Every structure is written in C-alpha cells, then in structure tokens.
Amino acid sequence: MDDEKQLGINIRELRKLRLLTQDELAERAGFSLQHVGDIERGKANPTLSCLLKLAEVLNVAVSDFFVQKDQAPLDDEGIRQCLLDFIGKAGKKHLSIFYTLYKGMR
C-alpha cells in the first residue's frame, strides 16, 4: 500500500473514532469536503499546514497519522533511524515532500 493511501486510511479512522463526518471535519478544518475525501482516499498529498490543522481538529499529534496498526510506538532513536532509512531510500518526490516538511518545522 502506498504512503498516501495509508495516511488517508489513518485519518479516516481517527475521524470516525471521533464520530465526525467528512463534512464536519472539512468544515471545522476550513477545507472543502472534496479535499478531505481526496486525502482519505489517498488521492491528495496534504501539506504540513493541512496535516497540522487536521490534527488540531481531531485532537491528535500529526505523528498519529503515520502509525500503522501493526507497529509499536517508537522511541526517539527508533524514529530517528526510521527517518534516516526513509531518506536513504526516498525518490525525488518523497525527498521534496520531506524537505518541505522540514522547512515548515524550522
């Protein structure tokens, strides 16, 4: 499964756990219903600011969007190693996204 699709599935599950419809999430986050639907289906690649707003509305950390069900939470060193592994294998598209996230967090 690709990263965008897994991200969308995770966001959908968190939304449903909070008993929100896509329309309610879109309204609270200030996005269109189409955009929220596209994110949840893995058809849109949300920006860092979009993920931050969704996390705020859902009352979760942005990192919660990236946890897979079969994964145990990682400690700081585990996270660091995962990121280094990802960067080492990433193609141009993912490196560009990662760099954008990095710039937004500085």
Domain residue limits, the chain: 1-69, 74-106
Q: Which residue matches tokens 């499964």? A: 1
Alpha-carbon Rg for the chain, nearest whole angstrom, is: 14
Cα pseudo-dihedral 74, 76, 80, 86, rounded to 10:
20
CA-CA distance, 52 to 2, in Å (whole number)? 21
pTM of the model: 0.65
Burial class (CB within 10 angstroms; exposed 0-12, middle 13-18, buried 19+) of 106: exposed
Residue pLDDT, tens place only, 79-98 = 888 788 778 888 888 888 88
The pLDDT-based confidence of 70 (bands split at 50, 70, 90) is: low
Higher pLDDT, 94 or 35: 35
Name the CATH code of domain 1-69 (choices 1.10.260.40, 1.10.3720.10, 1.10.10.10, 3.20.20.70). 1.10.260.40
Sign of CA dihedral 86, 71, 7, 77: negative
